[in-house]
Amino acid sequence: MLRVEALRRSYGGRLVVDVAELELRRGEVLAVLGPNGAGKSTLLRLLLLLERADAGRIFIDGAEVRAGDVATRRRMAAVFQRPFLFSGTVSYNVGFGLGARGIRGTERDRLVRAALDAVGLAALSGAPVAILSGGEAQRAALARALVLSPELLALDEPTASLDVAVRRRFREDLERLVRSEGRSVLVVSHDPADAFSLADRIAVMEAGRIVQLATPAELVLAPATPFVAEFSGAELLLDGRVTTLDPPLVRVAVTPDVALWAMAGTTGGIRAGHRVHVAYRPEDVTLARVDADAETSAINRLPLTVAALAPSGSLVRVRLQGSIQLVALVTARSAETLGLAPGAAVVAQLKASAMHAYRAD
């Protein structure tokens, strides 16, 4: 559906976007994920043909397109982080684009009703937009985009301006709506939850560049860099030094008394003596009582002490201290069964396949 080649954009001499290649397949949901300042919004404006690139090419269905191409822009629709709604009713806003395309009367009304039904705003059709909550305004903006049946739907930070409860419900509805009619969808977000819940593939962006493009599962199982690992939910341990190679595993001394087995990262050859970072995900840490039988395949077993506990959604985030510091995510029931409390002694267990070592340079 969409392809980018050597796309570059600078502001004031600073390179903001430097994307060698990127593709959005027809019917695919692709997320561009990265922190604030990574260049995501600029990339989105370039792809929506709202801004001209300094270099590079953009193709839609194999044909090169340029900024200001009105005919191509009519094949796209976007919903931005803070929806701009015109004065008037909800139905007027949703039908505005249809009127601009010459669709009026009963056909316009039918399409507007269908779009409002899809986003759950049918009861507010005649309401003035001034009374809408943040979540309702975002739904109205989404309906205004969907009613045009765009071939490419772009969502810019779709949940960032919503509170936690509204964000969760809106994201659930987005999961359903973005899959309808087989359209191609581009999601731009700094929130991994948006990307992981909505996308078929995720392009992780750092300092204007795409540093990894993979499925959500691949990002979790094989993050290409420490940045990708950390941004997709991993934790970083203290630096360590490789003592043993047993491909694809490496043994890393993280303190004089503690060594851990981990998978060698997917970029950069790791050799004995190299200084590395070791990344893991808190949900991959399992906890056991000190006196429990060691029936586990986890090669890394560390006696530690609970430093603190904090609720994290439906889970409990457990901060551990001792020879090294770790964070674990466990269910509330597990925390109760294990008798977790500050000062409690536990054994933290981590499979080597759940840990990734990256060259520190």
| Radius of gyration of the chain from its Cα atoms, rounded to whole angstroms | 24
Of the residues 176, 200, 223, which one is the last residue of a structural domain? 223
Does residue 280 belong to any structural domain of this protein? no
Q: Distance between CA 232 and CA 183 in Å, rounded?
A: 26
| Of 26, 22, 54, 28, the residue nearest 40 (C-alpha) | 22
Q: Tokens for 113, please give them.
A: 């009703």
User: 245 has which bridge partners?
Assistant: 250
User: 154 has which bridge partners?
Assistant: 78, 186
User: What is the pLDDT at residue 221?
Assistant: 82
Q: Distance between CA 142 and CA 165 in Å, rounded?
A: 18
Does residue 300 belong to any structural domain of this protein? yes
Both 130 and 211 in one domain: the answer is: yes
Domain at 305, CATH number: 2.40.50.100
Both 191 and 339 in one domain: the answer is: no
Alpha-carbon separation of residue 207 from 18, 177, 184, 232 (angstroms)? 9, 31, 25, 16
Chain segment 183-209, per-residue pLDDT in tens: 899 999 999 989 998 999 999 999 999
User: What is the pLDDT at residue 102?
Assistant: 87
Does residue 306 belong to any structural domain of this protein? yes
User: What is the pLDDT at residue 268?
Assistant: 62
Q: Which domain holds residue 325?
A: 285-350
Does residue 250 belong to any structural domain of this protein? no
Q: Please tell me the total count of domains within the chain.
A: 2
Q: Distance between CA 207 and CA 196 in Å, rounded?
A: 21
Q: Are strands 240-246 and 235-236 parallel, antiparallel or unpaired?
A: unpaired
Chain segment 247-303, per-residue pLDDT in tens: 889 999 999 999 999 998 665 688 999 999 999 999 999 999 988 766 677 899 999
Both 218 and 291 in one domain: the answer is: no
Dihedral sign (CA 204, 207, 208, 212): negative
Mean pLDDT for the stretch of residues 8-13: 94
- Beta carbons of 265 and 358 less than 8 angstroms apart: yes
Both 212 and 297 in one domain: the answer is: no
The secondary structure element, H or E, covering residue 224 is none
Both 324 and 211 in one domain: the answer is: no
Does residue 204 belong to any structural domain of this protein? yes
Cis peptide before 158 (omega within 30 of 0): no
Chain segment 310-349, per-residue pLDDT in tens: 998 789 999 999 999 999 999 999 999 999 999 999 999 9
Q: Which residues of 264-284 are buried (b: 16+ CB within 10 A; e: fewer)?
A: bbbebebeeebebbbbbbbeb
Both 209 and 133 in one domain: the answer is: yes
Is the pTM higher than 0.85? Answer: no
Q: pLDDT above 70 covers what percent of the chain?
A: 98
Q: Any idea how long the chain is?
A: 361
Helix (H, G, I), strand (E, B) or coil at 112: helix
Does residue 345 belong to any structural domain of this protein? yes
First to last CA, the chain: 37
Q: Distance between CA 160 and CA 173 in Å, rounded?
A: 15
- Beta carbons of 153 and 185 less than 8 angstroms apart: yes
Helix (H, G, I), strand (E, B) or coil at 55: strand
| Of 248, 246, 335, 353, the residue nearest 298 (C-alpha) | 353
Alpha-carbon separation of residue 316 from 59, 126, 242, 292, 347 (angstroms)? 47, 44, 32, 21, 17
User: What is the pLDDT at residue 267?
Assistant: 57
Does residue 219 belong to any structural domain of this protein? yes
Both 324 and 185 in one domain: the answer is: no
When the pLDDT of each residue in the chain is averaged and rounded to a whole number, the result is 91
User: 31 has which bridge partners?
Assistant: 187, 202
What order of strands is seen across the sheet that includes strand 286-289? Answer: 286-289, 345-350, 300-312, 315-322, 326-331
